[in-house]
Every structure is written in structure tokens, then in C-alpha cells.
């Protein structure tokens, strides 16, 4: 079967409610009224965040996720379609709420989350098997967030095998605490790209520094590109065993408004670079530039730019 789709993003699919500004360095307390900016509703989760970012960068993108039968499901589908992202793999389940998150954002763009997992808890290996024909049309499959997919994670190695048998290169992404390392390490040999956040990687490995973390993943069978996203410190990538590359943050093309979705945007830029045949270092820099664009607007996708503009940000950094 022809792989006519560049990437399919599968997993957590969320409606985000953005509340800004909220003070995060002290308790909100009971009985108080906080005056905030107009409250926005946008899409979130890896399916929406990385899916829209990939499309904005020029990829042909499909999505696969479980949503509810509520107003949020229709809004997510409508917004993905409007962004040019395919929705062939969205399954709606009755009597279940779509995953939703209240995102509390402070004046510096830092955020905290209140999340209801909802329909995302139903995504399992059987879901992947039902959509095997769709996966077979895709060059890359991004699967996440591990840590927020409780029905899938105990069989994560099997899930990765399903995607590989369909012909996809597999990109794994984490969320929340990053999930159980027992589940992750069983899947590592079949994963082509794995770049968790520093907090999630520390939770997995018990190691503190990125190079120690990468070495731990290698010891447990990671053979593909492995790395760690370190926030304002940039990222560290390892294309192969013994090869380490530091990727600095790119200069944001405007004031930092909201860091929501920065990690998902980094991943999208990295995957686009790999799809275009870039060396890993250059693909990582494209990921950093994509994240730098993301943080200039509220929400996970409003600040994204097309590939030419994003590469200009990369060149200027």
C-alpha cells in the first residue's frame, strides 16, 4: 500500500480551556474572585497540538483518537478539519466525555493543568488494530501521551509492534508523569524517536542529567533517536549510541506569552526535519524553532508558522 500520508498522530485528544493570567506561585485559596483575560477554548493533547503543527509545517497528516459524544468532540473534529488535518481515525463513544483540560497560565507563560482523561482512557491495542489499514498509509506514527493512556500502556510494546508491522516509523511521546518505566522500556527497542521531557525522563530512570538518562535508555534497548527536552535549557539528542548533540533553544520571534504545546511543537519540527532527510542536529534545530514560534501566542497552535517562516527563525537563532 502506498504511504501517501506523512504522519499520523494517535493518542490523547483534548479540548483545552485557557485561563490567563493566574498566579501559580501561591495557592488560589477558597472564596476568591480572580479577574482574568477572556477565557478561550482551543484544542489540545498530542493529536491536536502535534497534528496541527505538522500540518502547518507542510506535512500530510492524519489523526487517530477516541473522543466522546459531547460538544467538545464536534469542536475538535471541526477545528482539525479546518486546519487541514485528517480525522479518519477519530472514534466517538457514547456516554463518555471527551478529554478536557483547564490550563492555568501565569504572566510569564508558565502553566498548570487540571485534566479529565475521559475518552482517552479507552484507547487500546484493539483500537490500533482496527485502524491498521490507515496506519499502513503513513510513513511516521506519533503515539502519545504515555502516562495518560491507561488502557494502552500495559501493552505498549505490543502497540509499537502493531504500528511497525503496518510499516510506520514510530515516535513515542510522554505526558503527565511519563508513565511506568516498565511499560516504556519494554517498547524501547521498537521505537524510532523518543524525546521525553526532563521531568518525565527523571521519573523513568531515576537519573538526573540528560546524558545519564540517555545512557539508561540505551542500556534498556533504545536503538533509535533518543533525547531529553530540557525546557529553557534546550534539548539533548542522541542519534545513535555514543553520539550526543546539544540543541539550544531558538530565539522566539516575539514575546513569550504561553508555553503550552512547546514540547509538542518541538516534536513536530523534529519529525518534519526527519521526513525531509535532514541530519538529526538540523532536525532538532527545526524543532527548537517550531517551539519558539509556538510560545508567542496563547494556546498550543496559534503561534505556529509555516515551514519557510519557521526555518527563518531557525536561521536567525
Per-residue pLDDT tens digits for 220-243: 999 999 999 999 999 999 999 999
C-alpha cell at 293: 514560534
The answer on pLDDT for 78 being more than 70 is: yes
Q: CA distances (Å), 305 to each of 138, 165, 176, 250, in order?
A: 23, 34, 27, 14
Average pLDDT over residues 19-36: 90
**Reported pTM:** 0.93
Q: CA distances (Å), 1 to each of 4, 127, 131, 264, in order?
A: 9, 20, 14, 29
> pLDDT over 90 for what percent of the chain?
88
The answer on pLDDT for 1 being more than 70 is: no
Burial 246-273 (b: 16+ CB within 10 A, else e): ebebbebbeebbbbbbbbbbbbbbbbbb
Please tell me the predicted confidence (pLDDT) of residue 67: 98
With beta carbons less than 8 A apart as the criterion, state whether 119 and 97 touch: yes
Average pLDDT over residues 124-148: 97
The greatest distance separating any two alpha carbons of the chain, rounded to the nearest whole angstrom, comes to 59
Please give the angle made by the CA atoms of 276, 278 and 282, to the nearest 5 degrees. 130
Within 10 A of 196 (CB to CB), how many other CB atoms are there?
A: 29
Residues 181, 184, 185, 188: is their CA dihedral positive or negative? negative
Average pLDDT over residues 127-150: 97
Which of 24, 76, 35, 10 lies closest to 301 in space, CA to CA? Answer: 76
The answer on pLDDT for 109 being more than 90 is: no
Average pLDDT over residues 198-214: 97
The answer on pLDDT for 182 being more than 90 is: yes
Task: Give the confidence band of 71 by pLDDT, cuts at 50, 70, 90.
Answer: very high
Please tell me the predicted confidence (pLDDT) of residue 223: 95
Please tell me the predicted confidence (pLDDT) of residue 103: 87
Segment (H or E) for 163: helix 156-165
What is the per-residue pLDDT across 239-255, written as a single tens digit (0 to 9) for each? Answer: 999 999 999 999 999 99
Amino acid at each position: 500500500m502506498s504511504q501517501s500520508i506523512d504522519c499520523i498522530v494517535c493518542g490523547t485528544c483534548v479540548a483545552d480551556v485557557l485561563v490567563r493570567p493566574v498566579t501559580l506561585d501561591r495557592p488560589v485559596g477558597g472564596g476568591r474572585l480572580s479577574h482574568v483575560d477572556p477565557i478561550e477554548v482551543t484544542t489540545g493533547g498530542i493529536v491536536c497540538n502535534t497534528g496541527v503543527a505538522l500540518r502547518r509545517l507542510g506535512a500530510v497528516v492524519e489523526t487517530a483518537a477516541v473522543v466522546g459524544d459531547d460538544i467538545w468532540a464536534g469542536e475538535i473534529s471541526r477545528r482539525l478539519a479546518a486546519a487541514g488535518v485528517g480525522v479518519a481515525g477519530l472514534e466517538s463513544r457514547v456516554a463518555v466525555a471527551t478529554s478536557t483540560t483547564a490550563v492555568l497560565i501565569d504572566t510569564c507563560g508558565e502553566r498548570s493543568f487540571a485534566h479529565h482523561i475521559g475518552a482517552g482512557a479507552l484507547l487500546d491495542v484493539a483500537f490500533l488494530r482496527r485502524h491498521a489499514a490507515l496506519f499502513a498509509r503513513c510513513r511516521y506514527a506519533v503515539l502519545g501521551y504515555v502516562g495518560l493512556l491507561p488502557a494502552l500502556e500495559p501493552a505498549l510494546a505490543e502497540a509499537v509492534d502493531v504500528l511497525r508491522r503496518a510499516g510506520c516509523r514510530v515516535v513515542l511521546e510522554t505526558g503527565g508523569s511519563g508513565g511506568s518505566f516498565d511499560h516504556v522500556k519494554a517498547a524501547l527497542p521498537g521505537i524510532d524517536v523518543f524525546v521525553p521531557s526532563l521531568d518525565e525522563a527523571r521519573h523513568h530512570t531515576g537519573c538526573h542529567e540528560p546524558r545519564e538518562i540517555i545512557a539508561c535508555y540505551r542500556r534498556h534497548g533504545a536503538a533509535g533517536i533518543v533525547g531529553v527536552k530540557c525546557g529553557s535549557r534546550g534539548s539533548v539528542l542522541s542519534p545513535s549510541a555514543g553520539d550526543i548533540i546539544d540543541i539550544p533553544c531558538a530565539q522566539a520571534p516575539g514575546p513569550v506569552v504561553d508555553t503550552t504545546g512547546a514540547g509538542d511543537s518541538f516534536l513536530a519540527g523534529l519529525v518534519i526535519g526527519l521526513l525531509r532527510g535532514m541530519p538529526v542536529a538540523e532536525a532538532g534545530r527545526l524543532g527548537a524553532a517550531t517551539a519558539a514560534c509556538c510560545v508567542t501566542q496563547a494556546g498550543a497552535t496559534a503561534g505556529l508558522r509555516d515551514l519557510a517562516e519557521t526555518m527563518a527563525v531557525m536561521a536567525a537563532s
